[in-house]
Structure 1
């Protein structure tokens, strides 16, 4: 019985593992590693994952957590960093307070992608959590939340 259960769970485990694959620096294309080092020379404690055909680096600079998406050609496509509430633009904070009064701010991130700056906010209350993306003017975006 145990053996059958383990064998039944193996495909699910491999499916999950293949979605986000942790990789070591030696498995990384040099173009990708170099792109991160050039763009973020102060990056420390870099951890890499492969997401589809993109590489995601999670790292710290000072005490701030960052992440970057890099394509195989070595282009940094997107970058995000943790921020605190005081770093949210006033229109974003006002929009969140207006539209989600019953929620508390949780994790906040500033995202730079395609020349645009967006703000990701995680909101929580007893009914559950929400994830929203705003532009700097406080407009709710349809852009997917980058976890």
Structure 2
């Protein structure tokens, strides 16, 4: 009986030690998020380049929003279908990356009320590219073998 109790205690201890440590999000950040997205569901927080990123669902759409450590909103991303990209963006992709295939697309909403589009492209190299709504290539990031997107190639 003692060995079963000891074994169960060890399993419980190992399970507790292996669980992901929850991220403590400052009150200013959560307050700013809830003010902007009061109906958000399934919220998960993580750190991204020193800022807080909330991944969540809103109205059935998958979204994310980034905030500074003081709660200032930086951007929001909404997953969209490739077919929802503006014609100007599709034309720019065809011109700048003729051999690439669009893997994912997101609409970016920014604090200055502008809208941009981020696409993940697959081809000879995997990359992310950001376009203005008028199709101007703003930034491209070539992903390295680990796919962490640290290689800027402006």
TM-score, structure 1 length as denominator?
0.72
| 2:75 is aligned with 1:78 | yes
1:117 to 104, 107, 115: 115
TM-score (norm 2): 0.69
Instruction: Tell me by how many angstroms 1:124 deviates.
Output: 1.2
Aligned length: 124
Cα distance in 2 for partners of 1:133, 1:59 equals 22
- 5+ residue gaps, structure 2: 1-19, 143-148, 150-154
Partner Cα distance (1:75, 1:144) in 2: 25
For the pair shown, the structure with the greater C-alpha radius of gyration is 2
- Deviant stretches of 4+, over 4 Å: none
Q: CA deviation at 1:118?
A: 1.2
Alpha-carbon contact 2:73-2:111 (below 8 Å) kept:
no
98, 103, 108: which is aligned to 1:101? 98
Question: Equivalent residue of 2:109, what SS?
Answer: strand
Aligned partner of 1:3 in structure 2 is none
Shift of 1:22: 6.5
Structure 1: segments with no counterpart, 5+ residues: 1-20
**Aligned pairs (5 A) from 1:50-89:** 50-51=47-48, 53-89=50-86
